[in-house]
Structure 1
Amino acid sequence: MTYRVLGENGPRVSAICLGTMTFGQQNTEAEAHAQLDYAVERGVNFIDVAEIYPVPTRAETAGATERFVGNWLARQARDRLVIATKVAGPARSLPWIRGGPPALDRANIRAAVEGSLQRLRTDYIDLYQLHWPERNQPMFGQWRFEPEKERECTPVRAQLEALAELVEEGKIRHVGLSNEHPWGVMEFVRLSRELGLPRVVSIQNAYSLVNRGYESGLAEIAYRERISLLAYSPLAFGHLSGKYLADPAAEGRITLFPNFGQRYAKPNLMPAVQGYAELARAHGLTPAQLALAFVHSRWFVGSTIVGATTMEQLEHNLASWNVSLDEPVLEAIDALHLRYTNPAP
Structure 2
Amino acid sequence: MQTTALGRTGITVSRLCLGTMTFGEQNSEAEAHAQLDYAVGRGINFIDTAEMYPVPPRQHTQGLTEAYIGSWLKARGRRDRVVIATKVAGRSTELAYARPFAIHPDRRNIEAAVDASLRRLQTDYIDLYQVHWPDRSTNFFGRLGYQHQPYPDEVPIEATLAALADLVRAGKVRAVGISNETPWGAMRYLALAEQRGLPRVASIQNPYSLLNRVFEIGLAEIALREDLGLLAYSPLGMGALTGKYRHGARPPEGRLTRFDRFKRYSTPAGEAAVETYAQIAEQHGLNLPQMALAFLLRQPFLTSAIVGATTPDQLRTNLDAADLTLPDAVVAAIEAVHAAQPNPCP
Per-residue CA deviations over 1:315-338 (Å, capped at 9, x if unaligned) read: 110111111101111111110001
SS at structure 1 position matched to 2:295: helix
Shift of 1:262: 4.0
Letter in 2 for 1:127: L
SS at structure 2 position matched to 1:147: coil
Match of 1:256 among 258, 261, 280: 258
Q: Which residue in the other structure is 2:186 paired with?
A: 185
Query: Contact 1:53 / 1:66 at 8 angstroms: preserved in 2?
Result: yes
**How many Å separate the matches in 1 of 2:294 and 2:145?**
29
Letter in 2 for 1:203: I
Shift of 1:261: 1.2
Shift of 1:144: 1.3
Q: Which residue in the other structure is 2:55 paired with?
A: 55
The answer as to 2:338 corresponding to 1:331 is no
Query: Contact 2:136 / 2:150 at 8 angstroms: preserved in 1?
Result: no
Query: Contact 2:90 / 2:133 at 8 angstroms: preserved in 1?
Result: yes
Letter in 2 for 1:16: L
Query: Contact 1:70 / 1:119 at 8 angstroms: preserved in 2?
Result: yes
So what's the TM-score if we normalise by structure 1? Answer: 0.97
Identity %: 54
Shift of 1:76: 2.2
C-alpha change, 1:53 and 1:100, in structure 2 (3 Å) is: farther
Shift of 1:80: 1.2
Aligned length: 344
The answer as to 2:240 corresponding to 1:239 is yes
Query: Contact 1:253 / 1:260 at 8 angstroms: preserved in 2?
Result: no
Query: Contact 1:178 / 1:204 at 8 angstroms: preserved in 2?
Result: yes
Query: Contact 2:208 / 2:232 at 8 angstroms: preserved in 1?
Result: yes
Worse-matched range after superposition: 172-181 or 259-268: 259-268
Query: Contact 2:240 / 2:266 at 8 angstroms: preserved in 1?
Result: no
SS at structure 1 position matched to 2:304: strand
So what's the TM-score if we normalise by structure 2? Answer: 0.97
What runs of 5+ residues in structure 1 fail to find an aligned partner?
A: none
Q: CA RMSD in A?
A: 1.2
Q: Which residue in the other structure is 2:202 paired with?
A: 201
Letter in 2 for 1:312: D
Letter in 2 for 1:72: W
**How many Å separate the matches in 1 of 2:55 and 2:170?**
30
Q: Which residue in the other structure is 2:139 paired with?
A: 138
The 5 A counterparts of 1:25-174 are 25-74=25-74, 75-99=76-100, 101-148=102-149, 150-174=151-175
Query: Contact 1:89 / 1:101 at 8 angstroms: preserved in 2?
Result: no
Letter in 1 for 2:55: V
SS at structure 2 position matched to 1:261: helix
Letter in 2 for 1:254: L
**How many Å separate the matches in 2 of 1:261 and 1:232?**
13
Letter in 2 for 1:26: Q
Query: Contact 1:136 / 1:151 at 8 angstroms: preserved in 2?
Result: no
Letter in 1 for 2:344: P
Query: Contact 2:89 / 2:104 at 8 angstroms: preserved in 1?
Result: no
Shift of 1:123: 0.1
C-alpha change, 1:92 and 1:341, in structure 2 (3 Å) is: farther
Shift of 1:99: 4.2
SS at structure 2 position matched to 1:260: helix
**How many Å separate the matches in 2 of 1:37 and 1:197?**
36
**How many Å separate the matches in 1 of 2:162 and 2:103?**
18
Query: Contact 2:133 / 2:179 at 8 angstroms: preserved in 1?
Result: yes
C-alpha change, 1:235 and 1:71, in structure 2 (3 Å) is: same
Shift of 1:265: 4.2
Per-residue CA deviations over 1:242-269 (Å, capped at 9, x if unaligned) read: 1100452113111012x21143243411
**How many Å separate the matches in 1 of 2:30 and 2:105?**
34
Q: Which residue in the other structure is 1:5 paired with?
A: 5
Q: Which residue in the other structure is 2:212 paired with?
A: 211
Q: Which residue in the other structure is 1:308 paired with?
A: 309
**How many Å separate the matches in 2 of 1:163 and 1:149?**
23
